[in-house]
Amino acid sequence: MPRLGDATRGRILFGGDYNPEQWPEETWHEDVRLMKAAGVNSVTLGVFSWAKLEPRPGAREFGWLDRLMDLMHAGGIGVVLATPTSAPPPWMGRLHPETLPRDEDGRTEWWGGRQHFSHSSATYRRYAAAITEDLAARYGSHPALTLWHINNEYCTYDWGDEAAAAFRRWLQDKYGTVDALNEAWGTAFWSQGYDGWHEILPPRHAHYMKNPTQVLDFKRFTSDMLLECYLAERDIVRRHTPHIPVTTNFMPMWAGQDAWRWAAEEDVVSVDLYPDPRDPCGAQSGALVQDMTRSQAGHGPWVLMEQAAGAVNWRGVNHPKPSGLNRLWSLQAVARGADGVCYFQWRQSRQGAEKFHSGMVSHAGEEGRTYREVKRLGAELARIGAEVTNSHVFADIALLHDWNSWWAGSQEGRPSSEVDYSVVVGAWHRAFWEAHLTTAFAHPEHDLSAYRLVVVPQLYLLTDTAIDNLLAYVHGGGTLVCGFLTGVADEDDRIRPGGMDARLRDLFGIRTLHEWWPLDAGEGVECDGFRGLLWSEEIEAQDADEVIAYQGGELDGLPAVLRKGRAWYVSTLPEPKALRDLLAGIASGAGARPVLDGLPAGVEAVRRGDLLFVLNHGREPVTVAVPGTHHDLLTGATVTNDVVLGRYGVAVLRP
């Protein structure tokens, strides 16, 4: 299987989406000049070019792409060649309306934007395979080709008739019989029992709440149908070019794909990442996505496929990045394992829906601050690339994450709509980030034996296999910390007897979970030494070795936090500092240590291979103690015991 190293060849991929069809050809040569001056060594071509490549059914206009491929190669710039299948041309929807997706109210999603395709449409799949086949046959041997990029940001749901037929086939494969489906879905409730497969529909608009297991299965089905689309195109290009790695770009913490399954089918894992420059937790949320993507890549290198050089265009207020922030966040991605730093897009568009979305070359041109900063970053990435690429980030703490649990736990009819899974996961990751502890992510059924500490921020749904895996990890000497609403339901979203799996209750020292006590927005509950937010539980302990109690109110004296041996259960969301201190203390007891001790607030330190990245996310200069003598790859300076970092400053230190 080809790997990212086959494309990077000892350098960090640097560039972005290039959409030259938006510009006259004389601009192309100017682009190459600016790319070379900025150190760009990779561009992605063809992502949204289907109408240009196939202006009418069966037509092929490759001449412009031939010239571009040759131009990039002559300029020493590699090409990530995309299949254009995320944005079908208007003629497809006009001639084949069945290729257009429908929403849960039955309304057609028309052409005029992007992602307007039904993943289940045989016609769409046929056209997508044909254009992919011709692209692979024509450019598979082109010397500029370094990587295949399939589609773009797979995210389309479809409740239409063709999707309904595919959903029924998917359910037949999963359950075998309608009786088994009725049992799994609990259709005895509300007279929902099905007599035949033909009666089953996607969970379309309903008068009141929908069957939660039907909704859960539909989300699983949608992820699988989109994966089928990816695999069909991947297999075509792999047949033509078995030596060229293949990727598709994930969106950060996107709920629509089971990215654990998807990542296993990619040669290279890549992600798009757009933290808000005004978000005080922007650096930490970026680190979370980077840790997750690295983990999906098997703890190896990955690619930051898209980021913004400046402002985006889809927030209510779109703030630009202050001077230095683009460089800082790009080097943060490298620190956490990226072997590619790319953007959407190269040149800022003058027309279309994203003309206010930044580019590496902004409307200000090469004299603009954005391009000047991109140029500096390109030079620095070239300077460190040979020593960074294909090295690894070590983490001995794992946060467990599963899309099935996210899907099941986020539906309507739950005890609290204030509980947002992604927010809870972010809070727990932030606690480790602020404690300067590097983390990985893992699936609850993965082998966890390599980690000193395993953390479950929240996994409402756990399979029996996952529960057995957690028990085996603890019994094998590992330390486990679980947050509230964990182990509540089985894989069919059936509540486990007692409101939490009995094996987990015994593991944590819980006799009975009497009631869930969710908290209103802004409400808190006092505990011994901290304040809990969002949630609380009425728990009766049994054989627990340590208890932190609730104080006051209905839960006075009952356990908020329990420990039995090496297993901890946290039944509320401690306020940020308390959660950080609690988890840092448990991590220390498990033998997990920060990369550097005594780091100032807002400073991040990550070790990648033999290199130490130190990043200042603050606006004020800081001095950071780095015992010993190091060489800073960015400046060439020798650093002994201390390094001084200016606003948004970065040092990449080699012993």
- Segment holding 630, helix H or strand E: strand 622-632
Radius of gyration of the chain (CA): 26
Alpha carbon distance 608, 422 (integer Å):
27
| Cα–Cα distance, 451 to 240 (Å, whole number) | 40
Which member of 266, 306, 380, 434 is catalytic?
A: 306
Packing angle, helices 282-296 and 325-335, rounded to 10:
30
User: 3-class DSSP state for residue 651?
Assistant: strand
Instruction: Tell me if residue 306 is catalytic.
Output: yes
DSSP per residue, 205-256: --SSPPPHHHHHHHHHHHHHHHHHHHHHHHHHHHHH-TTS-EE-EEPTT-TT
Query: 553 — alpha (psi -120 to 50), left (phi > 0) or beta?
Result: left
DSSP letter assigned to residue 436: T
- How many CB atoms are closer than 10 A to CB 172? 14
Strand pairing report for 13-18 and 78-82: unpaired
Alpha-carbon distance 147 to 244, whole Å?
6
Of 306, 391, 317, which is closest to residue 652 (Cα–Cα)?
391
Residue tagged active-site, from 54, 153, 162, 434: 153
Long-range Cβ contacts of 495-498 (<8 Å, 24+ apart): none
Q: Is the dihedral of CA 24, 27, 31, 33 positive or negative?
A: positive
Burial 424-457, CB ≥16 within 10 A → b, else e? bbbbbbbbbbbbbbbbbbbbbbbebeebbbbbbb
Task: Classify 140 as helix, strand or coil.
Answer: coil
List the 650-654 sheet strands across, edge first: 603-608, 611-616, 650-654, 622-632, 638-645
Q: Which amino acid, 323? A: S
Q: Which of 500, 521, 522 is nearest to 511 (CA)?
A: 500
539, 562 in Cβ contact below 8 A?
Answer: yes
Distance CA(287)–CA(395), nearest Å, equals 13
Q: Both tokens of residue 25?
A: 């050809």
Six-digit token pair at 470? 């957690």
Q: By three-state DSSP, how is residue 645 classified?
A: strand
Angstrom distance (rounded) from CA 537 to CA 571 = 6
Distance CA 183, CA 186 (A): 5
Active-site residue, 153 included: yes
Q: Is 145 helix (H, G, I), strand (E, B) or coil?
A: strand
Nearest to 163 by CA among 205, 224, 245: 224
Residues marked as catalytic: 153, 306
